[in-house]
Amino acid sequence: MSAGSTLRRVRIPAPPGRRRLPSGVEAAAGVRLGRAVRFAVAPGARVVLGPGCRIGDRSRFEVASGEVHVGAGASLGERCVVTARERIDIGADVRAGDDVLLTDTTRSIDDVELPLRLQDLVTAPVAVGEGATLGARSCVLPGVTVGARAVLEAGSVAEHDVPAQAQVVGVPARAPRPAAAQRRRRPRGSDRRD
């Protein structure tokens, strides 16, 4: 966030019992926050944590405008980052590994002569469907919808929609080829054909 930003940074320590949440953050019954979870929520922006959701240690929510909804029973691992300027919906029972990034904001790159920090911001809502799994260090970019019960493997970057119940892997994330469709590879220098 820039130095002139209107966001209020709030660090929530891990006291025993119920935590006092900053304004703009609403938590239902049974929400469990790890140690040092941080919320930076601008006036008028909202973070809604559904019943029984769990947020891992040192995760952060940076909401400059718009809303972030975390569904009932969803679980985000340690050091996850959620940045929003429009809307991010994380469905019920979603499982996100450690170091996952969800963002609905990026920079346009229309003018290659203009420094990136001076380019316009582009936003598009992000949705993660019910029961989806986001592997460790995976990334969901602006405008992407991850379908219900889909699996985004560890280290993958979703820059296009992921269909329901699909399993995707890689950068950019794609469905893996079936084993039968993969070419058989021979070592270099081998002239023998089997």
> How many domains does the chain fold into?
1
| Residue 2 domain-assigned (yes or no) | no
| Residue 98 domain-assigned (yes or no) | yes
How distant is the alpha carbon of residue 58 from its chain centre? 15
pLDDT of res. 81: 97
| Residue 190 domain-assigned (yes or no) | no
pLDDT of res. 121: 87
| Residue 186 domain-assigned (yes or no) | no
Mean predicted confidence (pLDDT) in 25-29: 91
| Residue 3 domain-assigned (yes or no) | no
Residues 6+ apart with CB under 8 A from 127: 88, 89, 91, 144, 145, 146
pLDDT of res. 134: 96
* Residue 69 banded pLDDT, cuts 50, 70, 90: very high
Range(s) of the domain holding residue 96: 9-174
15 or 116: which leads in pLDDT: 116
pLDDT of res. 16: 45
pLDDT of res. 141: 95
Mean predicted confidence (pLDDT) in 144-167: 94
Q: Which range among 3-7, 43-47, 106-110 shows the weakest confidence by mean pLDDT? A: 3-7
* Residue 85 banded pLDDT, cuts 50, 70, 90: very high
pTM of the model: 0.79
| Residue 1 domain-assigned (yes or no) | no
- Domain of 93, CATH number, reads 2.160.10.10
pLDDT of res. 175: 82
| Residue 182 domain-assigned (yes or no) | no
pLDDT of res. 111: 83
Give 127-155 pLDDT, tens digit per residue.
999 999 999 999 999 999 999 999 999 99
| Residue 193 domain-assigned (yes or no) | no
Mean pLDDT in the chain? 86
pLDDT of res. 194: 53
- In angstroms, the CA 101 to CA 89 distance is 13
